[in-house]
Amino acid sequence: MERWDRIGRTAAYGAAAALVPYLVIKVSWVIGSMLGLLPVGRGFSLCGWLVLNTVTIGMAAAGITLALALVRPWGMRIPGRLVGFVAWVGSGFLVSILPFVVVSALFDSGTGTSGGSGSPGGSGSAAGDAAMPGWEAVLLQCSFVGTGIGLAIALPAYLWRRRPHALLRPERPRASSGSLWPVVTGAVTGLVWLYWAAGGPLGIAHRDERPADWHVLVGVDACWALAASAAVPALLRCRSARLPYPLLLAVAWLGSGSMFAWSGWRLPATVYVALAHPSDVRYPENVAVAVTLHVTAVLTGAGIMRTLVRGGRERAGVPGSAQRPAERVSRRA
């Protein structure tokens, strides 16, 4: 376990370092736009562009702080709920998007925009800028990949140090009353996204506004939603004994975080486009359908996370459950 802890600490520092280029690029965009040296993103006014990138600067700063909190002693003094929430949202943003980055790179479509789909390759928003240099796009993608991988390794190590009982499989099934509604809504949302990714026309208002990376991104969202919905019943009923319990937790954690973070990010952008009607940005989806799905995804992600938190509290109340992993670590040490 000492070796695993060292790996986790190294990964935390690596995650923080990987996000620095993203932060620097975003700051340069804000300063450059204010001075008139850089163009404003497609579909945005100057004010909207500055607000958007200022928000992403804050998100990047929060991500760097989170990564350092997972390894520095002061991170253990921060309230666990705050660290958990920021880690959940950050994981949903970064780790869940890694398949999109890989597939987009294979199709050479990860350096441009996604027709207003919310691709992370450009501005990390609902709009990008075709004039963005290729090297900036590469740095942005490397920041996503590096931070995502680093958090994926650092988070379990931090959780083992602070809440070891959370990684233990419960000895008996838990009651599922009131906990299965996120499974249903998550499955429905995932199936709709999967239908769109496969080229389904229902609910699509602008069929020509669907580039290849839009299909990939929607398909990735669908897979995470369906995976999280499938993992929750297995966690509640202690089934799938052939699958490691931490793996099921990770799938539910990342899938719910992906739905909450990305739909929470796209929802205001979708509303903005619907109300402002920018001439150069159009979403493929019907606005009403897209808003409904995003709201459902946000509520579903929060519902799954609530189920995971309740399960962790129940395991913490089992006598000896929080001590067993720590005792094993001390004996090996």
Give the list of residues 6+ apart from residue 40 with CB closer than 8 angstroms, or none: 33, 46, 49
Give percent of the chain above pLDDT 70: 77
Q: How confident is the model at residue 21 (pLDDT cuts 50, 70, 90)?
A: very high
**What is the tens place of the pLDDT at every residue in 188-239?**
999 999 999 999 999 998 888 788 888 888 999 999 999 999 998 888 775 5
The residue that leads in pLDDT, 303 or 249, is 303
Q: What is the pLDDT of residue 151?
A: 86
The whole-chain average pLDDT of the chain stands at 78
pLDDT tier at 303, thresholds 50, 70, 90: very high
Indicate the range of 140-144, 160-164, 286-290, 326-330 predicted with least confidence: 326-330
Burial of 282 (0-12, 13-18, 19+ CB in 10 A): middle
**Over the stretch 108-129, which tens digit does the pLDDT of each residue have?**
544 444 333 444 433 333 334 4
| Residue 224 backbone dihedrals phi, psi, to 5 degrees | -65, -40
Q: From the CB of residue 267, how many other CB atoms can be counted at a distance below 10 Å? A: 17
Give the burial class of 203: count Cβ atoms within 10 A of its Cβ; 0-12 exposed, 13-18 middle, 19 or more buried: middle
Q: How many Å apart are CA 297 and CA 302, to the nearest integer?
A: 8
pLDDT, tens only, 168-196 = 666 555 555 456 889 999 999 999 999 99
**Which of the pair, 310 or 185, is modelled with greater confidence?**
185
pTM for the predicted model, two decimal places: 0.76
